[in-house]
Amino acid sequence: MTGRPANWLSRRERGTVLGIRAAFRFATLVGRTPTKLLVAGIALWYRLFDRRSVRASQDWLRRATGRKPGFWAVWRHLRTFAQVTLDRAFLLTGKTNSLVFTRTGLELLEQQQASGKGAVLIGAHLGSYEAMRAGGRHDDLRIRIVGYFANARMINELMYELNPSWQTQVIHLGDDPVQVMANVQDAVERGEFVAMMADRTGLNDRLVDAQFFGERASFNSGPFLLASILGCPVYLVFGVYRAPNRYELHCERFADRVVVPRKDRDGALRRWAQAYADRIEHHARQAPDNWFNFFDFWAPRAAAPASPPRSPDREQEAAP
């Protein structure tokens, strides 16, 4: 397999504004059932013509299942991604009558919110984060997503059109890390949850390696550094899609507190990243079609050295 570019953010968005809008509008107008042919067709197009995504899918399915995937196995993987992407239209507009949600461990978040203290939620590009937020709205959980959204400008503009409040539910990573940290800290102090992904890296991210499906892969250390500054509990969350219309919402406690001491920062980050990678691997083996990183995940990733985020109010606490 060919190596991935220096950064996944460099990939241009696929399709056109017209095509993306048409697909979402069609889905919201006619419902989920009639869109199954559209989803199947989109997946078939990518299976036939997007060699990079196909190679990534083949490599992933081989690792996750232990078998060489055939033509239709890759197509099913791409079809799951297309379906979850289109389901965002239903989740964002609240048209979820055709969807079924099961919840495992979400009582942990209810108990956390009842305490009046916020927490960090860490996930991955495994299933649907929108499904987690839909479940959060239903259970009156206040969830803010922290991420870099400039690489998917067209999709995000459409998300805002479908649900104008979506813009208030995210915290954009940009050029001002101090302001981002202040916004995140304010959200946690208000008793809200801040959600992040640790399986992709952005510009100038500090990387940390861990064993993942038997081979070394790089993860983003930012969520662990941020959690260590906030000093609050951390939970792992996933919204796994099961055909034809079910989302399994999973939540588990990852740590009462992530401790990253100054004297052993690199070692501590490796240990936290490995614990995260182990849990991602566990869940991904049970739902391999829900893995939506369509690039060479194990290729070496280059990033400029970056200083860890700092709280605007206090220094990072050292471990006892």
**Rounded CA separation 42/47 (Å):** 9
**7/302 Cα distance (integer angstroms):** 7
Give the model's pLDDT for residue 41.
93
pLDDT for res 124: 95
Residue 212 corresponds to which tokens in the numbers above?
């993942």
- Which pLDDT value is given to residue 6? 40
Full-model pTM: 0.86
Is the bond into 244 cis (omega within 30 degrees of 0)? yes
The confidence score (pLDDT) of residue 19 equals 67
**pLDDT at residue 10, rounded to an integer:** 43
For residue 109, the tally of other CB atoms under 10 A from its CB is 24
Question: What pLDDT is attached to residue 240?
Answer: 97
Residues 250 and 105: beta-carbon distance below 8 Å: yes
Cα torsion angle, 211, 212, 216, 219, sign: negative
Binned average pLDDT, 10 residues per bin, the chain of 320 residues: 42 54 83 91 94 96 97 98 90 88 92 94 93 65 77 66 69 75 91 92 77 96 94 96 95 96 95 98 97 92 49 32
Q: What is the dihedral of CA 128, 103, 211, 226, to 10 degrees?
A: 80
Give the pLDDT score at 57: 98
- Report CA torsion sign: 248, 249, 253, 255: positive
| pLDDT of the residue at 153 | 63
Q: How many Å apart are CA 148 and CA 33, to the nearest integer?
A: 32
Which residues are CB-neighbours of 69 under 8 A, at least 6 positions away?
57, 58, 61, 62, 77
3-state helix, strand, coil split of the chain in percent (to 5) is 50, 20, 30
